[in-house]
Amino acid sequence: MKHLDTLTLSLWAVALFAAPTVAQADEINLDVITQNGTFYQAVVDAYEASGAKYKVTLQAPSKTYDEVAQRAVRAAMIGTPPDVVFMGYDRMKLAKDRKIAMPLDDLLGSDQELEKLGYPASALNLCRIGGKLYGLPFATSVPAIFFNSGLVKQVGGDPEAFPDTWDGIFELASKINGLGSGKSGIFFRYDHSGNWSWQALVTSFGGQLMNADGKTIAFNGPAGHSAFAVLSRLKNAGMVDLSTDQAKQSFMSGNLGIYFDSSASLIGLQKGSQFRVGTAQYPSPVSDSRLPGGGNCAMLTTPKAERQEAALDFMKFATGPIGQTALVKETGYISTNTLANNNPEYLGNFYKNNPAASTALEALPRLTPWKSFPGENSPKIVDLIRGYLQSVITHKADPDKALQDMAAEIKPLLP
């Protein structure tokens, strides 16, 4: 999309963010469920500072997207649904099946109209189920590699040419681990909500979570074996099984060389580190290597028409240029709104001045939907997989046997 001049963009912003005139609009206080993150409040502050007629109250944040979904389900069951839920991409189908989410197609207009407001079809597809739109893309991240540029140089590596193969990464990690003095070569965060980082390994090797029928598992083929083989190599390259917070602290203190996490962690890591934080994509070992898009959709969950206008007003702001600018500058999430990305008043200059953030943008063509297991046992399956990941990483289980046993345990839990 071509860059818009300042006047044109201002007109778009007025059209997008002007609050609709409804009776007693100033009395509407939107009830919103989110995951952890100070950036949600930053977006709310920007919204209210823009002159919006509505107030927004964020509920106490949930720790995971699974918890977000559970709270939304419970609230709907007792007849007190929130107005907006920032629902993880992998929980969109559950929200649709439980009739928590309101379809947006008739409320927001055509894809062509939405594209003019900065929403490309590829971004909207992250919030579609069965061809219908159930949310607007708010926070999007990709699995990312962070590295300590100083330690990479110290062992003879080139921060400007980080290895793009697993063999190269493990060789570099082993060298950093060999420095001693408390240095650790590598850490792979495996405790993501919905097994996101493990799913990223599987899809990066060309695999998928479930077969096309949506009923049978597909992760236990060659891609799954390759994914578990990568996890099994981590310990010998220096991975210690720490909590995520401990691993982040180790990285920012300069003791951890290579750290795998969400691209959304970038700004926090940069602010907390005394060295230049480098970024890289997951390797692409096969031609159809894909990465699941992490993050969430802003989902309309109130069935009350008089509140829907207000809720949509806030959702459009949060996913529009100003809201996305506030989000990205606070985190490292990718903005999928083209008006924000293309204009220097918003994020155009941000990406130019922060090359580490551009790595995530460059991974957008590899994005594939973040999937979840069907049925009521999905949370149980997520916990089961997390246990197997830990056992492989710590060498308590053979990777091939662990994959076989894991698949056998999951099959009877599927509907």
Domains, the chain, with CATH or none: 6-141+294-368 (3.40.190.10), 143-292+373-413 (3.40.190.10)
Which residues is 35 bridged to in the sheet? 62
What pLDDT is stored for residue 393 in this prediction? 98
What pLDDT is stored for residue 367 in this prediction? 87
Considering only residues 352 and 246, tell me which one the structure prediction assigns the higher pLDDT.
246
What pLDDT is stored for residue 8 in this prediction? 37
Which residues is 85 bridged to in the sheet? 33, 299
What pLDDT is stored for residue 410 in this prediction? 97
Judge whether residue 17 has pLDDT over 60: no
Judge whether residue 397 has pLDDT over 50: yes
Measured distance CA(203)–CA(114) in Å, rounded: 29
What pLDDT is stored for residue 26 in this prediction? 55
Measured distance CA(102)–CA(181) in Å, rounded: 55
What pLDDT is stored for residue 212 in this prediction? 87
What pLDDT is stored for residue 10 in this prediction? 39
Least trusted range by pLDDT, from 21-30, 53-62, 141-150: 21-30
Least trusted range by pLDDT, from 217-221, 224-228, 338-342: 338-342
What pLDDT is stored for residue 6 in this prediction? 37
Mean pLDDT confidence for 332-347: 91
Which of 360, 302, 304, 375 has its CA nearest to residue 327?
360
What pLDDT is stored for residue 22 in this prediction? 41
Q: How many helices (H) and strands (E) does the chain have?
A: 20, 13
How does pLDDT run across 238-262, given as a tens digit for each residue? 999 999 999 999 999 999 999 999 9
Average pLDDT, the chain: 91
What pLDDT is stored for residue 74 in this prediction? 95
Cα separation values, 122 from 202, 210, 236, 257, Å: 22, 21, 39, 34
Q: In the structure, what pLDDT confidence band is assigned to residue 361 with cuts at 50, 70 and 90?
A: confident
Judge whether residue 283 has pLDDT over 80: yes
Judge whether residue 155 has pLDDT over 90: yes
What pLDDT is stored for residue 369 in this prediction? 86
What pLDDT is stored for residue 70 in this prediction? 92
Mean pLDDT confidence for 16-24: 42
The reported pTM is 0.84
Judge whether residue 21 has pLDDT over 50: no
Neighbours of 404 (CB within 10 A): 14
Residue that is written with structure tokens 């076989």 in the block: 404
Mean pLDDT confidence for 298-314: 96
Q: Rounded to 5 degrees, what are φ and ψ at 291?
A: -130, 135
- Percent of the chain exceeding pLDDT 70 equals 94
Per the CB < 8 A criterion, the answer to whether 54 and 310 are in contact is yes
- Percent of the chain exceeding pLDDT 90 equals 79
Query: Residue 267 corresponds to which amino acid?
Result: I
Measured distance CA(123)–CA(244) in Å, rounded: 29
